[in-house]
Amino acid sequence: MDYSFIDFLRLIGSLGLFLYGMKIMSEGLQKFAGDSMRRILTAMTTNRVTGVLTGMLITALIQSSSATTVMVVSFVNAGLLTLTQSIGVIMGANIGTTVTAWIISALGFKVDISAFALPLLALALPLFFSGKSSRKSVGEFIFGFSFLFMGLEALKNNAPDLSANPDMLAFVQNYTDMGFFSILLFLFIGTVLTMIVQASAATMAITLIMCANGWIDYHLGVALVLGENIGTTITANLAALTGNTQARRAALAHLTFNVFGVCWVLVLFYPFTGAVSWFVTNVMQVADPSVAVSFKLAAFHSAFNISNTCIMIWFIPLIEKTVCAIIKPKADEEEYRLQYITGGMLSTAELSILQAQKEITLFAERTTRMFGMVKDLFYEKNDDVFLKTYSRVEKYENISDRMEIEIANYLTQVSEGRLSSESKEEIRVMLRAVSEIESIADSCNNLARSIRRRNEHKSSFTTEQNRHLDKMFELVTEALDRMNLLMHKTEFTPGDINPSYNIEHEINNYRNQLKSRNIEDINNKLYQYQDGVYYMDMVSESEKLGDYVLNVVQALVEKKI
């Protein structure tokens, strides 16, 4: 057999060029339309049908179902999408990814796109080095498009010529004439191959080449395509490993959806593949056998995913219940999503405002838990535990940013309706409260950063400094507890705000006292100047946090008195 190790490396290099082209093309489009896609994804998932259409649109644009599903998993992890919404988008992504097979079938085997690749690169070069980010992203997309088809051409040229190597052909044929077992074997091969390269489009390209060259027949090509649909789910599942329970459930829903689809197609394998073959031959009238088999595979890929989505879209609640039953939430994990604002506005503005009030109360409780994590960080000596807790604080801070925007957008939407002057004033005060609660989360994050900087520079506090900060943290905790207590009240008296004022005055006085004491202690060389800097950073940030808490309380009392 005349196929050396160098030839094999050329084949792997061709696959690498194809994958790199797809990655660059996908990233270029994501950068060019990234914000738009995020807005589409969060806005157009109000029901299961729009969710499917959204997934189709985005995946058809970025040419990567893996990129879409990973994005969906990250949005679920952040609480921007619910599990139900994510399942619809993932179904749509499966349909959108079939566009790749049609492009390769229509262009890769009929038009020599690789001949235009270098001229396209020349045209894209000025865009690639442009200072404007949008033009640079378009340049990256064209580069990726060119590399993709250069890689596809190289794959065709460097793949072993089985007709010239009868030994290898005999090896393949050993596994092609075992009836339905061959179908199952090639399904397994397609799954494993896609899991390894983590790109179903790349495996699809390899399948199209194998069928076009006559190495395997149409039915075995279909088996590889079915395997690719299962293998492509590995990317989302890998992305979800570090996510929360909801993210892992979304990834498992992707796997469940595709596995179920493969199961029912295997039951109807020959009638289903026969119908697709008839459609391409008689309706599309593709006569050339080498081209026809490529179109048959592309048509099967689309028909399979469209049919599967049409069936499974009615079972989204069942899929959700199944994955929730399989993946149980961890004891120390909470759901990072809006719980009361779940979709559009309610029938009356008053009910919508009540919904928002409950969400703001929950928001305040989460920031209080965030401060509890900061207190845990202060004395934590174990590096692994410290980093884990610090990461949770950062995650809470990112989520609080998004929660502020989501709640504020909802309140703004409510305010556009017909409201009484009292309701409009109530919304104005609620918007102020949301902004101040988010500032509390920012302060908690700043405190965590100060503690991390102190640890990184091997700085240490004296017993007195620790005692003073403990006292400051106690006062802030008292202020936060008071704020949460008032959050749950429906009626207020003017005296309800007095305890919060008293705590805030105590925090301010204590901050001033510690500030004066700090200068004396540094002059007396009780600790280093740098230690004093970290110490006062924490004291000052705690005092700011107390201010934000009082602002929230003032907003609450203003609203109710």
- Can you give the pLDDT at residue 36? 58
Is the pLDDT at 29 greater than 90, yes or no? Answer: no
Is the pLDDT at 160 greater than 50, yes or no? Answer: yes
The distance from CA 198 to its chain's CA centroid, rounded to whole angstroms, is 17
Ranges 35-44, 345-354, 427-436, most confident: 427-436
Is the pLDDT at 112 greater than 80, yes or no? Answer: no
- Can you give the pLDDT at residue 440? 94
Rounded CA-CA distance 529/520 in Å is: 11
- Can you give the pLDDT at residue 561? 45
Percent of all residues in the chain with a pLDDT value above 90, rounded to a whole number: 15
Query: Is the pTM above the cut of 0.85?
Result: no
Count of CB atoms situated within 10 Å of the CB of 547: 16
Under a CB-based contact definition with an 8 Å cutoff, are residues 559 and 440 in contact? no
277-306 average pLDDT score? 76
- Domains present along the chain, CATH in parentheses: 5-326 (no CATH), 349-560 (1.20.58.220)
Q: Is residue 437 packed enough to be buried (19+ CB in 10 Å), middle (13-18) or exposed (0-12)?
A: buried
Mean pLDDT of the chain: 78
- Can you give the pLDDT at residue 163? 46
- Can you give the pLDDT at residue 435? 92
- More confidently predicted of 292 and 338: 292
DSSP-assigned letters across all residues of 321-355: HHHHHHSPPPTT----S-SS--SS--SSHHHHHHH
Name which of 55, 75, 77 is nearest 65 in CA terms: 55
pLDDT bin (cut points 50, 70, 90) of residue 162 is very low
